[in-house]
A and B are shown apart, each in its own frame.
Chain A
Amino acid sequence: MSSRIPLVPENAAPLPSLKENNGLLAWVASVDHKQIGIMYLIITLVYFLLGGLEALLIRIQLAHPGNDFLTPEMYNQLFTMHGTTMIFFVVMPFLIGVGVYLLPLMIGARDMAFPRLNALSFWLFFFGGILLYYSFFTQSGAPDVGWFAYSPLSEKPFSLNKGPTYWALGLLASGIGSVASGLNNVVTILTMRTPGMTMRRIPLFVWMIFVTSLLLIFVIPIITAAFAMMLLDSLLGATFFTPAHGGSAILWQHFFWGFGHPEVYILILPAFGIISEVIPVFSRKPIYGYEFVAASTVAIGLLSLGVWAHHMFAVGLGNVANAYFSLASMLIAIPTGVKVLNWVATMWGGRINFATPMLFGTAFIIEFVIGGLTGVAIASVPIDWVVTDSYFIVAHFHYAIFGGSVFAIFAGVYYWFPKFTGRMLSETLGKWHFWLTVIGFNMTFFVQHFLGVMGMPRRTYTYHDMPYWGSMNLLSTIGALILGLSAIVFVWNILVSLRNGKPAGDNPWNAWTLEWATTSPPAVENFELVPPVRGRRPLWDLAHPDQPDEPGAKIV
Chain B
Amino acid sequence: MANNRMIVGFFIASESVFFLMLILAYVNFHNSVTDGPTAVNSLNPVVTGIFSLFLFASSFTIWLAGKSLRENNHLMLKVWILATIILGAVFIFGQGLEWSGLIEKNITISRNVFGTTFFTLTGFHGFHVCVGLIMLSLLLGLALAGDFKGPKSDAVECVSLYWHFVDGVWVVVFSVIYLWAFL
* Stretch of B17-25, B129-137, B165-173 on the interface side: B17-25
B41 at interface, CB cutoff 8 A? no
**Cβ of A422 to closest chain B Cβ, rounded Å:** 31
Once the chains are docked, how many angstroms separate the CA of A339 from the CA of B86?
56
9 residue pairs of the A-B complex, CB under 8 angstroms, read A184-B7, A187-B7, A218-B17, A221-B21, A224-B18, A225-B17, A225-B21, A239-B110, A245-B112
Is the pair B25, A190 in contact by a Cβ cutoff of 8 Å? no
B15 at interface, CB cutoff 8 A? yes
With A179-B14, A183-B14: A191-B3 Cβ-Cβ less than 8 Å: yes
B122 at interface, CB cutoff 8 A? no
B2 at interface, CB cutoff 8 A? yes
Chain A residues closer than 8 Å to B25, beta-carbon distance: 225, 229, 240, 251
* Stretch of B26-34, B67-75, B94-102 on the interface side: B26-34
Which residues 519-549 in A have Cβ within 8 Å of B in the complex? Answer: none
- Interface mask (A427-444 → B, CB under 8 Å = 1, otherwise 0): 000000000000000000
Once the chains are docked, how many angstroms separate the CA of A512 from the CA of B32?
60
- Interface mask (A233-252 → B, CB under 8 Å = 1, otherwise 0): 00011111000011110010
Closest 8 CB pairs of A and B: A237-B110, A225-B21, A221-B18, A221-B17, A238-B116, A246-B113, A217-B14, A187-B7
**Cβ of A233 to closest chain B Cβ, rounded Å:** 8
Is the pair A190, B112 in contact by a Cβ cutoff of 8 Å? no
Chain B residues closer than 8 Å to A236, beta-carbon distance: 109-110
With A218-B14, A237-B109, A239-B110: A251-B28 Cβ-Cβ less than 8 Å: yes
Once the chains are docked, how many angstroms separate the CA of A360 from the CA of B73?
63
Chain B residues closer than 8 Å to A186, beta-carbon distance: 10
The interface of chain A, by Cβ under 8 A from chain B, is 113-114, 179, 182-184, 186-187, 190-191, 217-222, 224-226, 228-229, 232, 236-240, 245-248, 251, 255, 258
Is the pair B14, A190 in contact by a Cβ cutoff of 8 Å? no
Chain B residues closer than 8 Å to A240, beta-carbon distance: 25, 113, 116-117, 120
Is the pair B116, A217 in contact by a Cβ cutoff of 8 Å? no
Chain B residues closer than 8 Å to A222, beta-carbon distance: 17-18, 21
Once the chains are docked, how many angstroms separate the CA of A218 from the CA of B13?
7
B182 at interface, CB cutoff 8 A? no
Is the pair B28, A238 in contact by a Cβ cutoff of 8 Å? no
Once the chains are docked, how many angstroms separate the CA of A226 from the CA of B120?
11
The interface of chain B, by Cβ under 8 A from chain A, is 2-3, 6-7, 10-11, 13-15, 17-18, 21-22, 25, 28-29, 32-33, 109-110, 112-113, 115-117, 119-120, 124
Determine the residue in chain B with the shortest Cβ distance to A190. Answer: B6
With A183-B7, A221-B21, A255-B21: A238-B33 Cβ-Cβ less than 8 Å: no
Is the pair A225, B18 in contact by a Cβ cutoff of 8 Å? yes
Chain A residues closer than 8 Å to B11, beta-carbon distance: 183
With A191-B2, A238-B110, A246-B112: A225-B14 Cβ-Cβ less than 8 Å: no
**Cβ of A121 to closest chain B Cβ, rounded Å:** 13
**Cβ of B140 to closest chain A Cβ, rounded Å:** 24
With A228-B124, A239-B110: A247-B14 Cβ-Cβ less than 8 Å: no
With A220-B14, A229-B120: A191-B6 Cβ-Cβ less than 8 Å: yes
Of B3, B11, B13, the most chain A CB neighbours within 10 A belong to B3
Once the chains are docked, how many angstroms separate the CA of A245 from the CA of B10?
37
With A183-B10, A183-B11: A113-B116 Cβ-Cβ less than 8 Å: no
With A222-B21, A228-B124, A247-B113: A187-B3 Cβ-Cβ less than 8 Å: yes
**Cβ of B161 to closest chain A Cβ, rounded Å:** 14
Once the chains are docked, how many angstroms separate the CA of A258 from the CA of B109?
25
Chain B residues closer than 8 Å to A245, beta-carbon distance: 112-113
Is the pair A221, B14 in contact by a Cβ cutoff of 8 Å? yes
Once the chains are docked, how many angstroms separate the CA of A258 from the CA of B25?
13
Is the pair B17, A232 in contact by a Cβ cutoff of 8 Å? no
**Cβ of A218 to closest chain B Cβ, rounded Å:** 6
With A114-B7, A217-B14: A232-B116 Cβ-Cβ less than 8 Å: yes
Contact of A187 among B10, B109, B115 (CB under 8 A): B10
Of B6, B21, B117, B124, the most chain A CB neighbours within 10 A belong to B21
Chain A residues closer than 8 Å to B112, beta-carbon distance: 239, 245-246
Once the chains are docked, how many angstroms separate the CA of A248 from the CA of B113?
10
Is the pair A246, B33 in contact by a Cβ cutoff of 8 Å? yes
Is the pair B29, A246 in contact by a Cβ cutoff of 8 Å? yes
**Cβ of B78 to closest chain A Cβ, rounded Å:** 28
Contact of B7 among A113, A219, A224, A238 (CB under 8 A): A113
**Cβ of B5 to closest chain A Cβ, rounded Å:** 10
Chain B residues closer than 8 Å to A258, beta-carbon distance: 21
Determine the residue in chain B with the shortest Cβ distance to A224. Answer: B18
Chain A residues closer than 8 Å to B120, beta-carbon distance: 228-229, 232, 238, 240
Once the chains are docked, how many angstroms separate the CA of A183 from the CA of B28?
30
**Cβ of B13 to closest chain A Cβ, rounded Å:** 6
Is the pair A187, B116 in contact by a Cβ cutoff of 8 Å? no
Chain B residues closer than 8 Å to A190, beta-carbon distance: 6
Q: A186-B10, A225-B21 are in contact. List 11 more A-B contacts (CB 8 A).
A: A221-B15, A221-B21, A222-B21, A228-B124, A239-B112, A240-B25, A240-B113, A246-B29, A246-B32, A246-B112, A248-B28
